[in-house]
Amino acid sequence: MRYVLFAAAAGAVVAAAVYAVTVSGRAPVSAQDFVNLQQGDSIQAGFRRAHAKGFCISGEFQASGELAAYSSAKALQPGSYPFIGRISIAGSNPTAPDLRAPVRSLALTILPDTVHQWRTAMNTPPVMAVATPEKFYQQLLAIQSNTVPQFFADHPESAHFLQWRSHYQPTQSYATERYHSINAFYLVDRQGKQQAVRWTALPLTDEAGVIADEEAADALQQEFFSRLQQGPVRFDLQFTLATAKDNPADATIPWPESNLQLSAGTIVIEQASVQQEGACNALNFDPLVLPAGFAPSADPILRARAAAYAESHRRRAREVLMQQVVGGANE
């Protein structure tokens, strides 16, 4: 009996050691590695580690019901549903100049505070340059070490991304950009039947933005806020349905224009506020917060986005908590 117990204890120690080595040593890239790389050397306490610069928006999503046959999700049944959202630019600097950012984003939480809530974080590029988190990590390293051309040359799957980038012209307003889900998802109907989809927010105005001051860091934010004073900003939320030829797990390849496209409804942005005072600041726009009627695709980038966003959320929440504790003590 004594030896059996010793053997069990020794086994437990070995198992713990193996676990420690596999998780901390061999694991290629962790969520912490990703966020460490994104935040860089100068930590901006309380801000998102990626897409730190942005502002909160709110309004309603007017669902057309065109996708109701494909999904049981409440947000896709005909009706009007409130949302909290955020418009942002890529990068870890919360005071970066709007007009210099390579990527712009529109994120939404439709039907917040309910079990039906649907979060989506959409970006201006329609595809990723690479298909896995490990390669995306290498891409971020290449950006930091100024070896991006070499990185793209070594990764031929980036061809579609490069083609998009060579044609892309940033507009003078967040209201006239196209924002893409990038990753694919499944719509699930009441019988459990799945249909792979991607979606894009298409601007419903082509009215060019009037930039009051090209040098202002907040140039696009100012333009959007003054545009909202004239009335709501609208986007058409268009879904593209995959065919058997499309691979939902690969975000580097665009789907053909000939695929069936359906309008899920209209995103009506009614209000905007600076992010520190807005409801969006507490939210992590994790694209895997999906209601019944949606399911994630097997795209590994999608899973990695959720894990990295969670780590970023933890860090800035801890910083805001400490600021409040210290601030409270000083009052």
Instruction: Catalog residues that contact another protein under the rule CB under 8 A.
Output: 2, 5-6, 9, 12, 19, 23, 27, 29-32, 34, 109, 112-117, 133, 279, 281-284, 288-289, 291, 296, 298, 300, 303-304, 306-308, 310-311, 313-314, 316-322, 324
Q: What is the CA radius of gyration of the chain?
A: 22
Q: Which amino acid is at 298?
A: A
Cα(287)–Cα(305) distance, integer angstroms: 8
Q: Which is nearer to another protein, 88 or 117 (CB)?
A: 117
Pick from 281, 291, 280, 269: which is nearest to 317 by CA?
281
* Shortest Cβ 283–another protein spacing (Å): 6
- 194 CB-contact burial (10 Å; exposed 0-12 / middle 13-18 / buried 19+): middle
Tokens of 44: 């901006």
* Shortest Cβ 254–another protein spacing (Å): 23
Q: Which is nearer to another protein, 91 or 287 (CB)?
A: 287
- Residue 174 phi, psi (nearest 5): -65, -20
Q: Which residue has the tokens 């950006």?
A: 143
Tokens of 8: 């069990």
Contact 181, 242 (CB under 8 A): no
* Shortest Cβ 53–another protein spacing (Å): 17
* Shortest Cβ 18–another protein spacing (Å): 12
- Residue 87 phi, psi (nearest 5): -110, 135
Tokens of 127: 């595809």
- The runs of H, that is alpha helices, within 191-230 are 219-230
Cα(106)–Cα(285) distance, integer angstroms: 10
Q: Which is nearer to another protein, 227 or 315 (CB)?
A: 315
* Shortest Cβ 321–another protein spacing (Å): 3
- Residue 179 phi, psi (nearest 5): -120, 130
Q: Which is nearer to another protein, 175 or 290 (CB)?
A: 290
* Shortest Cβ 75–another protein spacing (Å): 13
User: Which DSSP string corresponds to 165-197?
Assistant: HHH----S-GGG--EE--S-EEEE-TT--EEEE
Q: Which amino acid is at 274?
A: V
* Shortest Cβ 224–another protein spacing (Å): 23
* Shortest Cβ 103–another protein spacing (Å): 20
